[in-house]
Amino acid sequence: MFFKSIRFKAILLYTLILTITLLVFSFILYGGFSKTLYDDFDDLLSSRAEGVADSINAYWHGRGIADTRAENFDSIAKGWVEEKRKNADLMSIFVQILDPVGAKVVASMSMPRIAQLDKDDFADILGGEDSFDTLSGESADARKMKFRVYSKPVYIDGNVRYVVQVAGPMDLMSLALNSLIFILFILLPITVLLAAFPGVLLVRIALKPVDAMIDTLRQITAENLKLKIHIPDTKDEIKRLADTFNDMIERIDRSFSSQQRFIQDIYHELNTPLNILRTEIEALSGRAGSKAQVEAVFKRISKEIDEFSKIIDNLGALTRFESDQLALEIKKVGLTDLVEKILDEMKALAEEKEIATSFYSNETVVIDGDEVQLERMLMNLLDNAIKYTYRRGKVVVTVSRDDLTVRITVSDTGIGMPDDELPYIFDRFYQVVKTRGSKNGFGIGLSIVRAVVEAHKGKISVESKRGQGSTFTVTLPLSYPA
C-alpha cells in the first residue's frame, strides 16, 4: 500500500531527481578536473620545451655557424636536458633532442622507451607545427605506461634543425582521476541516502494537511454533511483542494436536502390527490350517480392522472438528460410559431388567474433543434411564470436574433426570488423558500429547462427581485454545433 501512495512516489521522485543532479554534477566535476590536469601538465611540458629550445637557439646564435653537429654540442645539450632534474617536482619529466631525420641527439638520463611519432605527424612538426601526443612506452624498470609527449621544432637559420621532445608519465594524472572517481562513487550514494531523510520529512510536512483532510472526510456521513474541512491559511494547492472539498460537500448537502424535501413534498402532494382518487372511485362503486356526476368525477380523475403523468414524464426526461441517454432529433424548428402555439395552449391556465400574456418578435426565427424538447423547455418556463405570477399580473415572451444566436426572454410580475437563492433554482428538486409546501410543483421544471438548453449548446440566466417578478433569458445557437 505504501509503495502505491503519493508519499512514496514523491520520495522516489525526489531521490531520483537528486541522484540525476548529483550524477550530472559528478560528470561535470570529473570533466573539469580532468581538463585542468591535462592543461596544467601540457603547460609544464611546453614551458620545459621552450626552455631547452631557447638554450639551443642561444648556443648557435653565439657561435654564429651553421654546423649543427659541433663537437661540444652534445655535452652542452646534455646539461640542458638534465638542468631541471634536480627539481623534485620535475623528476618525472624527460627531455630528448632529435635531429630532422628523427635520430636521437641527446636524452635525459633514464629516458624511458617511448614509441616514435608516425611519419606524417613528424613531418608536420618539421613543417613548423608543435604537437601534444599520448604515446605508449616503457619506463626504465620495464613497466608499460602511457606518456604525454610535447614536440617542438627548433629553427636554426630559418630551418628546422632540431626537435625537442618533453615527455611525462600519465600515471599520476590517472591516479588522481581514479581517486576522484572513487570518491564520487562513495560520496554519491551516501549523499543520496542522507538527503533522503530530510526528503521524507519534507514530504510528511507537505502532506500533513492532506492527512488532516482525510481524517475529516472519514467523519463526514449523510447525517453529518455540515462538517467542514479546515482551510489552511495559505495560497497553495492544499488550500484549493480544501476549498474544492468544502464546495463538493456543500453541493452534496444541498442535494441531500433537496431530495429529502422532494420526498416530503411528493409524499404530501401525491398523498392528497391519491386519496381524492380513491374516494372518488369508492364513491362511484358504492352508489349510482347521474351521468353528469360520473363525468365530473372522471374529469377530476383524468386531471389528476395528467398531473401524475406530467411529473413522471419530466422526471424520466431529466434522468435521461443527466445520463446523456437522450439523443436529440435535430431538425429545422420554427421557433416563433412554436412559442405562439404554446402560449395558446397555456392561455386557459393564465385566464384562470386573469393573467395577461403577450408575445413580441420582429421576424420569423427558425433554428436547428429538437422540437419536442424545445416545446418541453418553453412549456416549463411559461408554466413556471404563470404559477408564480400574482392574480391579474402579466407574462411577456420575446424572441430576438442576431447573426449566430436567438434569445428568448420570459418575464413575469410574480413573487420573484431572493438573490441568495438564484444560484440554486436550476438544481433538481430545489424550491425557493417562499414556495416550499405550496401546490405549485416539485422543483424539477427549471432543471428540465436547463437540461434542454445545455443539450442544445445554449445558456440560460435569470434576473429577479423579490415581489417584483423574474426574467429568464435563454440563448440558443441558430445552427446546432456539429
Query: What is the DSSP secondary-structure string of 285-306?
Result: HHS---HHHHHHHHHHHHHHHH
Task: Tell me how far apart the alpha carbons of residues 245 and 206 are, in angstroms, rounded to a whole number.
Answer: 18
Would you state the pLDDT for residue 270?
64
What pLDDT is attached to residue 434?
Answer: 46
Single out the residue of 426, 407, 408, 429 nearest to residue 417, CA to CA: 426
Beta bridge partners of 159: 156
Block residue for cell numbers 548529483: 22
**Residue 285, amino acid:** S
- Cβ–Cβ < 8 Å for 235, 408: no
Q: Is 96 exposed, middle or buried (0-12, 13-18, 19+ CB in 10 A)?
A: buried
Q: Kindly list the distances between the CA atom of residue 377 and the CA atoms of 46, 110, 194, 298, in Å, as whole numbers in the listed order.
A: 94, 107, 67, 29
In whole angstroms, give the CA distance from residue 474 to residue 459: 6
Strands 113-114 and 131-138: antiparallel
For residues 363 and 401, the answer to whether their CB atoms sit within 8 Å is: yes
* Residue whose grid cell is 436547428: 368
Report the side by side order of strands in the sheet with 405-412: 356-361, 394-401, 405-412, 469-477, 459-465
CA 346 – CA 58 distance, rounded (Å): 123
Cell output for 457: 449548446
What does pTM read for this prediction?
Answer: 0.45
Residue identified by cell 443539450 is: 455
What does the pLDDT read at residue 22?
A: 85
The tens place of each residue's pLDDT in the chain, 482 residues long, gives: 556 667 777 777 878 888 888 888 888 988 888 888 888 888 888 888 888 787 777 777 766 544 545 556 666 666 666 665 555 455 578 888 888 888 888 877 777 788 888 888 888 888 888 888 888 888 777 778 888 888 888 888 778 888 888 888 888 788 888 888 888 888 888 888 887 777 778 777 777 777 777 777 777 776 666 777 777 676 767 777 778 878 887 777 777 776 666 666 566 656 666 777 777 677 666 555 566 767 777 777 777 777 667 667 766 666 666 656 567 888 999 999 999 999 998 888 888 889 999 999 988 899 999 998 899 899 989 988 998 898 889 999 999 998 899 999 999 998 888 887 887 787 766 665 444 444 455 567 788 888 889 888 999 999 988 888 999 999 999 998 76
Give the C-alpha distances (Å, rounded to integers) separating 417 from 53, 121, 349, 384, 461: 104, 98, 22, 13, 13
Strand extents, DSSP E, 331-435: 331-334, 356-361, 366-369, 394-401, 405-412
CA distance linking residue 403 with residue 38, whole number of Å: 77
Query: How far is residue 80's CA from residue 74's CA, in Å, rounded to a whole number?
Result: 10
Instruction: Give the Cα separation of 470 and 389 in Å (integer).
Output: 9
> What pLDDT sits at residue 146?
86
The closest of 325, 385, 368 to 476, measured between CA atoms, is 368
CA atoms within 13 A on the CB side of 372: 8
Question: Strand 144-156's sheet: what is its strand order?
Answer: 104-107, 94-98, 159-169, 144-156, 131-138, 113-114
Measured distance CA(445)–CA(239) in Å, rounded: 36
* Strands annotated E in 43-129: 94-98, 104-107, 113-114
Long-range contacts of 277-286 (CB under 8 A, 24+ apart): 277/301, 277/304
So what's the pLDDT on residue 436?
43
Single-letter amino acid code for the residue at 124: D
DSSP-based three-state secondary structure for 366:
strand
